[in-house]
């Protein structure tokens, strides 16, 4: 009995495996992360990896989906705020906090890192990320249009342009987080961008 227990493989922790794989993809890129590297890092045989995830692409897709869905939640929670200025602030600052989660619980922002441009073979994943970005942008656009209709923003505000501006700031923060910019610096940038955007939106038009 003792010998049998000694040879028993450790329990498979899927969440930990996905996190460890996501870290590898983030650091090495999709093409640069071989199946051999994955199996060594995850402590799995090749057959076990394929049994659990189907393929390297399947593991990559699960890693992206697992961590990317948090950004959908951030947008959904933000656009539910009553004040449009708070909406903008939460999208930017909550995202920064997510981008800079401790590395033992979070792999970095996979959906905006170079790893996505290195994953052309994973068409399902690319389509998912495109859908996620489109969904988040549409949610913000609808919320801004409502703010215009409610008189919270001036009638002449261009909702599409404002949405694009906020999204551009979001992408910039995401990219900077992937080159190890400190959370404090990212938050300072997010807060300044929020201030400048809101200042412009609330300023009286010149005669």
For residue 146, tell me if it sits in a domain: yes
For residue 50, tell me if it sits in a domain: no
Cα dihedral 68/170/198/194 (nearest 10): 90
The reported pTM is 0.78
Q: What is the CATH number of the domain that holds 99?
A: 1.10.357.10
For the stretch 83-123, pLDDT in tens is 999 999 999 999 999 888 876 555 556 665 545 556 555 55
For residue 22, tell me if it sits in a domain: no
* Distance between first and last Cα of the chain: 89
For residue 38, tell me if it sits in a domain: no
Closest C-alpha to 72, from 94, 50, 46, 54: 94
For residue 74, tell me if it sits in a domain: yes
For residue 87, tell me if it sits in a domain: yes
For the stretch 30-66, pLDDT in tens is 888 899 999 999 999 999 999 999 999 889 888 888 8
For residue 115, tell me if it sits in a domain: yes
For residue 26, tell me if it sits in a domain: no
Q: Considering its fold, how many domains does the chain have in total?
A: 1
Residue 172 structural domain: 67-202
3-state class percentages of the chain: helix first, strand second, coil last, to nearest 5: 70, 0, 30
- The torsion angles phi and psi of 174, rounded to 5 degrees, stand at -65, -45
How far apart CA 17 and CA 45 sit, in angstroms, is 13
């Amino acid at each position: 009995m003792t010998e049998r227990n000694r040879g028993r493989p450790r329990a498979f922790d899927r969440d930990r495996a996905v996190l460890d794989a996501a870290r590898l993809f983030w650091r090495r890129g999709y093409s640069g992360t071989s199946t051999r590297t994955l199996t060594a890092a995850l402590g799995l045989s090749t057959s076990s990896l394929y049994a659990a995830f189907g393929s390297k692409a399947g593991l990559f897709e699960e890693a992206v989906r697992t961590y990317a869905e948090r950004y959908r939640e951030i947008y959904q929670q933000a656009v539910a705020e009553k004040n449009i200025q708070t909406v903008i602030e939460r999208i930017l600052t909550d995202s920064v906090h997510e981008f800079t989660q401790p590395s033992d619980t979070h792999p970095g922002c996979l959906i905006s890192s170079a790893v996505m441009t290195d994953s052309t073979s994973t068409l399902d994943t690319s389509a998912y990320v495109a859908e996620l970005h489109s969904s988040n942008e549409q949610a913000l656009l609808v919320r801004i249009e409502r703010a215009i209709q409610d008189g919270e923003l001036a009638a002449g505000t261009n909702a599409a342009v404002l949405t694009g501006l906020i999204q551009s700031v979001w992408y910039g923060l995401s990219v900077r987080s992937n080159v190890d910019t400190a959370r404090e610096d990212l938050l300072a940038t997010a807060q300044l961008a929020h201030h400048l955007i809101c200042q412009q939106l609330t300023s009286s038009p010149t005669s």
